[in-house]
């Protein structure tokens, strides 16, 4: 047995000081940001420089997928004024 002065202290594995920190909360992954920029540029180019025009064309040509997209970009909650409630006038084209 070694004398106490010769024993090496039992320490766990040492990690660098910045290990495990990762990206700050809420920051986008680089590939996510690049993909988003590429999609927005493609939509703008498809509408001859006007993304709204392209989205309008897609709403007419592909209403189902467009509505799914719309559902993702609209806020999840709509807060109204209790003194001035929202009124929807809905008419159906049925018989």
Q: For the chain, what is the domain count?
A: 1
Beta-carbon contacts of 42 under 8 Å, excluding residues fewer than 6 positions away, are: none
pLDDT of residue 44: 92
Asked whether residue 42 is domain-assigned, the answer is yes
Asked whether residue 67 is domain-assigned, the answer is yes
DSSP E strands in 26-79: the ranges are none
Asked whether residue 62 is domain-assigned, the answer is yes
Q: Is the pLDDT of residue 31 over 80?
A: yes
What pTM, to 2 d.p., does this model score? 0.48
Q: Which domain holds residue 56?
A: 28-73
Q: Is the pLDDT of residue 72 over 60?
A: yes
User: Rounded to a whole number, what is the distance in angstroms from the first to the last CA of the chain?
Assistant: 97
User: Across the chain, how many H-helices and E-strands are there?
Assistant: 3, 0
Do residues 11 and 5 make contact, with C-beta atoms less than 8 angstroms apart? no
Q: Is the pLDDT of residue 80 over 80?
A: no
The mean per-residue pLDDT over the stretch 49-74 comes to 91
How many of the other CB atoms lie within 10 Å of CB of 43? 16
Write out pLDDT tens, residues 53-64: 999 999 999 999
Query: d(Cα 79, Cα 76) in Å, to the nearest integer?
Result: 10
């Amino acid at each position: 047995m070694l004398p106490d002065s010769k024993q090496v202290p039992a320490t766990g594995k040492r990690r660098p000081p910045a290990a495990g920190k990762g990206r700050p909360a809420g920051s986008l992954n680089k590939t996510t940001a690049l993909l988003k920029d590429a999609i927005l540029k493609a939509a703008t180019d498809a509408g001859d420089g006007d993304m709204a025009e392209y989205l309008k064309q897609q709403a007419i040509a592909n209403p189902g997928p467009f509505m799914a997209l719309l559902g993702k970009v609209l806020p999840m909650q709509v807060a109204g004024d209790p003194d001035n409630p929202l009124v929807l006038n809905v008419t159906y084209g049925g018989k």
